[in-house]
Amino acid sequence: MSFSFSLASNGAANAARSALDNTTEQLTNEARQLASGLRINSAADDPSGLAISQSLVARVNGFERARGNVQSAADAVNVADGALASVTDILTRIRTLAVEASSSIESTGDRANLQAEVSQLLLEIDRISQSVNFNGQPLLDGSHAGFVPAVAASVTVQANSVLATNAGPPGSNFGDLVANVQTIPAYQRPIYYNAVTQNVPASTAPQTVTVGSTVGLLPGDTLVPAGYNGPAIQVLGVNAATDSITAIFPQALSNGAQIRNDVNGSLANAVTPGENVVSITGTAQPLYVGQQLQLPFPPNPEVVTVQQVLGPTTFVADFTYAHSAGDYIGSSHFDGIAGGSGPGAYTITYGTVSNPSPPGQQVDIIDAGNFPAGVYIGTVLSYTSTSYTLSLPTAFPSGAYALAPVGNGTVSNTYDGSIKLQVVNTGVSIAVQESFYNTATQQQATSATLLAPGSTSALFDGVSITLGSFTSADLGSTAYVKALQATAAQENPEAPALELLAGASEGETVALSLPAVTTQQLRVATISLVAGAGSDPTLAAEDAIGQSDFAIQSVLAERAGLGAFSVRLREDESNDALAALNLQASVSSIRDLQVGAATTRFTQTRIEEQVGTAVLAQANALPETFLALFR
């Protein structure tokens, strides 16, 4: 660009001034950066850099606040754990008192004095659970229990005498008074109804025999001939590929003779409410401990559980109502299926039956026109008090009938309590007498049924017990079994878990569930060292030991959970701190000024400003040269 001399304007001065203005503006910006230490002081400095850095600053602040949340939660956990430590000490003291009261040396008055302390300690547990809080938020009263998982029923042998004979099959524990203990299975054994397809001679040796179908049959099943007029058949093995069974047949059977494993008959004797020894008509019935039998006819239909099998047709059961000799009793539903039904769901409605099979129960479905080969397996899909819906595996154009076990599988562990077994001399034989202490009612009961060596029974609370091989040398030997009932899962929508934001973003929450530690929740509210009605003054204290053990383990499990949560909180806090540090470093790399380079640029710009000022001064002097032409 060239400039000519002009009186009206000074192009050179204007150009110099423009360059000097730019230099001055740059110098001002660099001075501001050096003064603030920041490369970006406004959006004009770096629009995208400012947006990114401000977003990162927001996350840094979020992580810093999240650290505060985590620290507060850790403090709350420490408060809760301290309270639980006190509860643990109290429960340990209660257990110690229960151990003292379990000695028969202690008098009734001594136990009453011990119980006075236990009662006060139980009140203190409830006070702690109701009063412990953090920043006004209750911690141990269940207000923040959240989801509480279900607890399965359990039975545990607490003490078990080693028998003097210490005899039993290799690998067995028949050398102990209690050889085996378990809850009664929830499902009944599947019903099997079929026929042999060959002549079978009577023999005490195992025989392999073909049958119409092995569907639903299991090794160990007991079968009886149709009509229940012959001795029981013990099944040793099942071969589904050849539709054959290996079993002991004490009685000869003709080709086509029906065999089945369900109880079906009438009471041979009247029964009264309570524990009864019952006989059923017939020569043999396939009875087993835990089996559910139904007396379906009015005025008093009910389902009872076989507590002990005394013979081929005799058993022990606890009845709610009185029943007369001749009343029907059976273990299966026998229901018709209309022709043209299946495959798919099919609903059967009962008349007088009120205890249908539960979902998942196996059902034998028999094609009436193709027996004995036409036997199929269905499954109960759902049930009500008067009906059940099952799946039909195929179509039944000419009709069929279904055989389903009675019972909905709710016989196990109805109560918390303790079972005591003691070897006694009846004057006729050596037997075991079984007693039960109900924790909730604080009452004990002793069964009139005496148990023989090696027998299996379920006299109390749905607990099946198999005894060892005791003799007169074991008189006085005892065993204790602790039974705990199942508890259902609890959603607790009105008592949600505590939630805290442990990160910088929405939804980065962690939940802290704090179940109640009341005496009711710990199952110790009704423990007593003073026996209720019954003959054993120490059984209540023995039960208190078992209940205390459960409560202690529950509290320790809760403390372990809190400890694990504390570890998680420490990791959360460390992660928040590290994330904030790294993000702050990122903000610094974007916004902070590189002082060394900026100082160099500032010095250079100052020199440029000084040069520009000098040039502008000289450019302003150019018109004087033009005036010299007029001299």
Residues of the chain with CATH 1.20.1330.10: 54-149+491-579
Q: What is the pLDDT of residue 338?
A: 83
Band of residue 351 on the pLDDT scale cut at 50, 70, 90: low
What would the pLDDT profile of 526-537 be if each residue is shown by its tens digit? 999 987 656 688
What would the pLDDT profile of 299-322 be if each residue is shown by its tens digit? 788 888 899 999 999 999 999 899
Is the pLDDT assigned to residue 186 strictly greater than 60? no
For residue 334, the one-letter residue type is F
Q: DSSP class of residue 354?
A: -
Is the pLDDT assigned to residue 219 strictly greater than 50? yes
Half-sphere CA count of 97, side-chain side, radius 13 A: 26
Q: For residues 378 and 122, what is the distance between their CA atoms, to the nearest angstrom?
A: 51
Location of structure tokens 């059961």: 317
Band of residue 588 on the pLDDT scale cut at 50, 70, 90: confident
Helix (H) or strand (E) holding 22: helix 11-36
Q: What is the pLDDT of residue 169?
A: 63
Band of residue 121 on the pLDDT scale cut at 50, 70, 90: very high
CATH class, domain 54-149+491-579, is: mainly alpha
Q: Is there a contact between 392 and 344 (Cβ–Cβ < 8 Å)?
A: yes
Strand partners, 478: 422
Band of residue 353 on the pLDDT scale cut at 50, 70, 90: very low
Band of residue 384 on the pLDDT scale cut at 50, 70, 90: confident
Collect all residues with Cβ–Cβ distance below 8 Å to 624 and sequence separation of at least 6.
Answer: none
What would the pLDDT profile of 220-271 be if each residue is shown by its tens digit? 888 998 877 788 899 999 999 999 999 999 999 999 998 988 888 899 999 9
Is the pLDDT assigned to residue 443 strictly greater than 70? yes
What would the pLDDT profile of 17-65 be if each residue is shown by its tens digit? 777 677 777 767 766 766 766 666 676 666 787 778 778 778 888 888 8
Helix (H, G, I), strand (E, B) or coil at 184: coil
Q: Which residue has the higher pLDDT, 321 or 406?
A: 321
Q: What is the pLDDT of residue 314?
A: 94
Half-sphere CA count of 498, side-chain side, radius 13 A: 27
Is the pLDDT assigned to residue 198 strictly greater than 90? yes
Q: What is the pLDDT of residue 547?
A: 94
What would the pLDDT profile of 447-506 be if each residue is shown by its tens digit? 999 999 989 999 998 888 999 989 999 999 999 999 998 888 888 888 888 888 787 777
Quote the pTM value: 0.76
Q: For residues 292 and 590, what is the distance between their CA atoms, to the nearest angstrom?
A: 77
Q: Return the beta strands (E) in 169-212 as ranges.
A: 178-183, 193-195, 207-210
Q: Is the peptide bond before 47 cis (omega within 30 degrees of 0)?
A: no
Give the torsion sign (CA, 140, 143, 144, 149): positive
Q: Is there a contact between 474 and 139 (Cβ–Cβ < 8 Å)?
A: no
Is the pLDDT assigned to residue 216 strictly greater than 50? yes
Q: Which residue has the higher pLDDT, 197 or 340?
A: 197
What would the pLDDT profile of 54-113 be if each residue is shown by its tens digit? 787 788 888 888 888 889 889 999 999 999 999 999 999 999 999 999 988 988 899 999
Q: What is the pLDDT of residue 521?
A: 92
Q: Is there a contact between 290 and 231 (Cβ–Cβ < 8 Å)?
A: no
Band of residue 552 on the pLDDT scale cut at 50, 70, 90: very high
Q: Return the beta strands (E) in 80-231 as ranges.
A: 133-134, 137-138, 154-160, 178-183, 193-195, 207-210, 222-225
Strand partners, 501: 509
What would the pLDDT profile of 365-375 be if each residue is shown by its tens digit? 888 777 787 78
